[in-house]
Amino acid sequence: MFDKLKKKLRGAMVAFSYGLKNTEADIFGQKTTMSASNIIEQKMQQNELAEALLKGEVTEQVEILRDRTYLVSDESKNYKVIIDTVGTTKAFKKMGKKKTPNTFNEEGYDVSIVMDNNAIPSSVLEGFDSIGTYGIKNNYPLKFEYEYSPKFKLDEYVKRIVIRNGSTPEDIRVDLYVPQFRDTYERLEKIFDNEINKIRGNKTKPFHVEFDTVYFISDKAFGTDDLKPYMFKMKKFIGVSEFDGRNILTYEVETVGDNEKITEKYKNKKLRDAYENKESRGTKLNLGAVKKDKNICEKCGAEVESDYDFRIIKQTIGIGVCNGCLAKINEKNNK
Ligand SMILES: [Zn+2]
């Protein structure tokens, strides 16, 4: 449990320092000119952040960290980072548009989204949990819901989903790519293949390849950003086509819900504004500017001008005091 938390925290810290290094220095194309006090202050902020993360508090810093991680992840996709032999990192903006993958299409339709459906390996722990019960389950990005308990779980057969748009917004087609299981020894794959061949030859109704809804969150897909949810309700099965050695199952569908990025609700205004205004050019993103109160000496009540001094003192001796009171405390301790 604690190990897991530590690992999480370490991951967060790596993401955090990656964010500082790569967004500000490399991605914005500015040279690193961090002074010693910048570095110390950032280290202090990191400690405070670590404390907040350990306590499970969602402070503004944690909020900014979370959003920064998403921002870095989005931005970094536009750059190719090269690290040379002496460890200097250089970022280059990627040029040009991605080429449409080799996909099946018909007259009057545009390929809008292409995403592969590869098994997501479950973690070792999850694997242990399921041993002796149901065996190790595979997870897939595509989630199908069915009206009736299905004969075939489509997520296990489908290798790729393609969304195509016709001339009107309502005219949407979903293609499911399945391999042709010709030489398989897997009983179920054989049965599935036979079923598709029967459907193609109109020897049976497409009942066993129909579904109610299909849902996925975009991940490395063509035609869309990552982390966008897509859900489609099946209206009608259209037919089976053959393309590039695979069977394509085509459906007429309608969209359900919106495609707002799932990280959208975590957007932090301060970070996004700073990013928009390129505040980070020349000056660092002021992650520490969260303070709403004045720094008041806990001994004499005087206001401490330097936020930086006050925080160092508080971090070091546990209470926030002015320089005068700090001197007195030191004197007393030295006696
Ligand atoms: Zn004082």
pLDDT per residue as tens digits for the range 155-187 = 999 999 999 999 999 999 999 999 998 877 788
Q: What angle do CA 119, 117, 257 make, to 5 degrees?
A: 120
Give the Å distance between the CA of 326 and the centre of ligand 1: 7
Give the Å distance between the CA of 300 and the centre of ligand 1: 4
Give the Å distance between the CA of 306 and the centre of ligand 1: 13
What percent of the chain is modeled with pLDDT above 90? 35
**Which residues is 113 bridged to in the sheet?**
163
Give the Å distance between the CA of 315 and the centre of ligand 1: 16
List the alpha helices (DSSP H) in the chain: 2-18, 36-55, 60-76, 124-130, 187-200, 269-276, 307-317, 323-334
Given a cut of 70, whether residue 6 has pLDDT beyond it is no
Rounded to whole angstroms, how far apart are CA atoms 155 and 143?
7
Q: How many CA atoms lie within 13 A of 281 on its CB side?
A: 5
Give the Å distance between the CA of 298 and the centre of ligand 1: 7
Spatial neighbors of 100 by CB under 8 A, at least 6 apart, are: 111, 114, 222
Diameter of the chain by CA atoms? Answer: 99
Burial of 229 (0-12, 13-18, 19+ CB in 10 A): middle
Give the Å distance between the CA of 292 and the centre of ligand 1: 20
Give the Å distance between the CA of 308 and the centre of ligand 1: 16
Give the Å distance between the CA of 37 and the centre of ligand 1: 24
Mean pLDDT on 234-244: 96
The per-residue pLDDT for 246 is 94
More confident residue, 281 or 91: 91
Q: How many CB atoms lie within 10 A of CB 20?
A: 22
| Mean of per-residue pLDDT scores for the chain | 77
The per-residue pLDDT for 225 is 85
Among residues 285, 237, 307, the alpha carbon closest in space to that of 23 is found at: 285
The pLDDT confidence band at residue 29, using thresholds 50, 70 and 90, is very low
Mean pLDDT on 24-48: 55
Among residues 25, 86, 20, the alpha carbon closest in space to that of 12 is found at: 20
Give the Å distance between the CA of 302 and the centre of ligand 1: 5
More confident residue, 62 or 297: 297
Give the Å distance between the CA of 291 and the centre of ligand 1: 20
More confident residue, 23 or 190: 190
The per-residue pLDDT for 2 is 46
Give the Å distance between the CA of 327 and the centre of ligand 1: 9
Give the Å distance between the CA of 42 and the centre of ligand 1: 26
Phi and psi at residue 111, in whole multiples of 5°? -75, 120
Spatial neighbors of 78 by CB under 8 A, at least 6 apart, are: 93, 94
- Per DSSP, which regions of 166-290 are E strands? 172-179, 213-217, 229-243, 246-255
Give the Å distance between the CA of 335 and the centre of ligand 1: 20
Q: Name the least confident of 123-127, 150-154, 167-171, 297-301.
A: 123-127
- Most confident stretch, 31-35, 118-122, 209-213, 322-326: 209-213
Cβ(53)–Cβ(6) below 8 Å: no
Cβ(42)–Cβ(91) below 8 Å: no
Interval 260-287: pLDDT, tens: 888 887 888 877 787 777 544 444 444 4
Given a cut of 70, whether residue 97 has pLDDT beyond it is no
More confident residue, 70 or 163: 163
Given a cut of 60, whether residue 322 has pLDDT beyond it is yes
Spatial neighbors of 169 by CB under 8 A, at least 6 apart, are: none
- Most confident stretch, 49-53, 233-237, 293-297: 233-237
Mean pLDDT on 190-195: 93
Give the Å distance between the CA of 99 and the centre of ligand 1: 65
The pLDDT confidence band at residue 319, using thresholds 50, 70 and 90, is confident
> Quick one: tokens of 226?
């990552």
Among residues 196, 201, 204, the alpha carbon closest in space to that of 179 is found at: 196
Give the Å distance between the CA of 310 and the centre of ligand 1: 11
Given a cut of 60, whether residue 138 has pLDDT beyond it is yes
What residues flank ion ligand 1 with Cβ within 5 A? 297, 299-300, 302, 322, 325
Mean pLDDT on 205-212: 95
The per-residue pLDDT for 255 is 96
